[in-house]
Each structure stands twice: as structure tokens, then as C-alpha cells.
Amino acid sequence: MVRLNRIYTKAGDKGHTRLVGGQKVRKDSIRIECYGTVDELSAVLGLARTALQSAGAPDGAPALAEVIKRIQNELFNLGSDLATLPADRHPKQPVIEARHVTRLEADLDAWNETLPELRSFILPGGGWVASYLHLARTVCRRAERLAVRLAEEQPVGEQTVPYLNRLSDALFVMSRHASRLYGEPEPLWEPEHT
């Protein structure tokens, strides 16, 4: 069980923090930046989930909110894994596995089947929930880019990059699904509209 009795320790006041195994690192290290961005992604998804749970939400919103909650839990596991060097990993520590990627693919495929075919790029928008999901998608892409950079320098979980890649695809489809749930038109890119 996790117990957080003290929120501040002052240990990081000089720009350093510790990984799960105790190794001291700079707060601007690529590893810290990567799992911090995963945390930011979860926070943006919290906005989308809260909006989906608001009064007057359409049918289908609670199911989408539950998927987002599942993803937030997976992101917490991913952040924990990124904060832990392989030598310090506990055998029972939850990590992202191929099954998580496969589940995202199944969700993505199921939602995508219900959506009209795309004939243009979509501009972020299409209602509050869709907008939050578009924002989450862009934060996810940043987390993915950081994970790729981190993997070039240090070990990361085998499914870290595939999971983030698939999640950003899923967030795009989820944003389209949310626009449809709320009856909001998807703003399309008009290349000559300048």
C-alpha cells in the first residue's frame, strides 16, 4: 500500500530528484522529462474524463470515461516503470506489456468502425471533450518522442514506445468518437483557407 504522509521534502530544491531505486538525477534529465510528460498526459486525460462525467453527458460517455480511467492507470504504471532503472525494478512492479497495446488496438478498431471515412485532415476541436482528447494526443506524441530519445541512451520497457504510439492513434479516434457522441461537427482542414 502506498502511503504519502509528507508531500514536500525539500530534497529537490537544488534541482535534483531520485529515481525509484534511489539514484540521484537532475530534474531536467531525459528520464524525468519523459515520465513527467506521461504524468502531464494523464492530467489532460483527467480533464476529458471529468467533462465526460458532467451532467447531461450523452449515452456512451460513461463507457468512454471508463476507458480513459483505465488508460490513466496504465500511464501511472508506465510512469512508475520509467522512474525505475531495470536493475531496481521489483518483480511485481506493474509494467506496460504487449497485451496493453493489443487492447488499445481493439478499442481503436471498434471505435473507428463506427466513424465516417476521413477525406481530409481534422483540426483540433469538435467540442470540449474532443478538444481535450486532441490535446492529450499531442502530449502523448511528445511523450513518445521523449521515450524514443531516452531509449537511445538508456533502457526503457520493451512496450513503452509501441504503447505511446498506439495510444496517440487511439486518442485521435477517441476525439472523433467524442465529437460524434456529442453531435459536434469535426472541423476539417481547408488547405486553401488562408
Cell 538508456, located at residue: 154
Does some domain include residue 11? no
Does some domain include residue 169? yes
Q: How many domains does the chain have?
A: 1
Distances (CA, A) of 140 to 9, 91, 107: 29, 27, 17
Residue 56 neighbours by CB under 8 Å, 6+ apart = none
| Centroid of chain to Cα 152 | 21
Does some domain include residue 107? yes
Distances (CA, A) of 113 to 14, 23, 60, 150: 51, 47, 15, 35
Average pLDDT across the chain, whole number: 91
How far is residue 124's CA from residue 188's CA, in Å, rounded to a whole number? 9
What values do phi and psi take at 17, rounded to 5? -145, 180
Mean pLDDT, range 63-90, rounded to an integer = 95
Higher-confidence residue of 11 and 48: namely: 48
Domain span at residue 45?
Answer: 23-181
> Is pLDDT above 90 for 87?
no
How far is residue 84's CA from residue 167's CA, in Å, rounded to a whole number? 22
Mean pLDDT, range 75-91, rounded to an integer = 93
Mean pLDDT, range 86-108, rounded to an integer = 94
**pLDDT for position 39:** 98
Mean pLDDT, range 112-123, rounded to an integer = 91
> Is pLDDT above 90 for 31?
yes
Residue 45 CB neighbour total at 10 angstroms: 26
How far is residue 4's CA from residue 12's CA, in Å, rounded to a whole number? 17
Does some domain include residue 58? yes
Does some domain include residue 191? no
Does some domain include residue 98? yes
> Is pLDDT above 80 for 129?
yes
**pLDDT for position 20:** 86
**pLDDT for position 148:** 98
How far is residue 30's CA from residue 149's CA, in Å, rounded to a whole number? 8
How far is residue 75's CA from residue 96's CA, in Å, rounded to a whole number? 9
Angle between helices 61-82 and 98-113 (to 10 degrees): 150
> Is pLDDT above 90 for 58?
no
Cross-strand bridge partners of residue 189 = none
| CATH number of domain containing 140 | 1.20.1200.10
7-11, 17-21, 109-113, 140-144: least confident range: 7-11
Cβ atoms of 31 and 150 within 8 Å: the answer is: yes
55-59, 76-80, 150-154: least confident range: 55-59
Does some domain include residue 7? no
Does some domain include residue 156? yes
Cell 525539500, located at residue: 10
Mean pLDDT, range 99-115, rounded to an integer = 96
